[in-house]
Amino acid sequence: MVEQEYRIDKVLFSRGEIAERISDLAGRIAADMRGRELLVVGILNGAVFFLTDLVRRMPEDLDVRVDFMSVSSYENATKSSGVVRILRDIGSSIEDRHVLIVEDIIDTGYTLSYLLELLHARKPASLKTCVLLDKSARREVAVHVDYCGFSMPDAFVVGYGLDYAGRWRHLPDIHSVSAVGS
Ligand code: 5GP
């Protein structure tokens, strides 16, 4: 089978729009978390760009800690099975701590739903979710998103941490991709 080639297409969210939205989110999260210690857990690799911009826009006197998890979906040929494998876990206990999961994009919802169940069992004081992009039309399992950057249509996107086969994470804007020849 010949691999389909893709090219980057139009900008869906510009770097300026992203920066503005992230400042709003950081302000809301900081207001909700004032006086508490906040553990921000980024999901590698896609959420790294978003997380680093988000925490740098939080007030300097907010007690913020940062950690990461790495997960991969067990997939069959055509569709995510909804089972997630932990490749790297959080480095410390989250019991009685205020945890914010930061993810690049929510699509079917399987990844976040699995992570919420897993982390909830570790008895955090609170557990919230923050996603930059939400493809709500594609949801297969219900997941509560506490902080959302942008709702977006059903399109595959790259840039600002999001990749296609490892490429295009470094792009400053978020683009849709299209098949070459279409
Ligand atoms: P879910 O488990 O919600 O279906 O999928 C979440 C994961 O799918 C994201 O963390 C991301 O890795 C991947 N994903 C879903 N949609 C897109 C997309 O449009 N672009 C990229 N680069 N990854 C996506």
Q: Among residues 53, 104, 107, 134, which one is catalytic? A: 107
pLDDT in tens, 3-48: 678 899 999 999 999 999 999 999 999 999 999 999 999 999 999 9
For residue 34, the CA-to-ligand 1 centroid distance in Å is 31
158 lines ligand 1 (CB under 6 A): yes
pTM of the full structure: 0.94
Contact 50, 68 (CB under 8 A): no
Position 81 scores a pLDDT of: 59
Amino acid at 137: A
Ligand 1 pocket member 9 (CB < 6 A) = no
134 among known catalytic residues = no
- What domains are there in the chain, each with its CATH number? 16-152 (3.40.50.2020)
Give the residues of the chain that fall short of pLDDT 70. 1-3, 74-82, 182
User: What mean pLDDT value characterizes the chain?
Assistant: 93
pLDDT number for residue 78:
43
Helices 15-33/48-56 angle, 10° precision? 60
Residue whose CA lies nearest to ligand 1 atom number 4: 108
Per-residue pLDDT at 1: 55
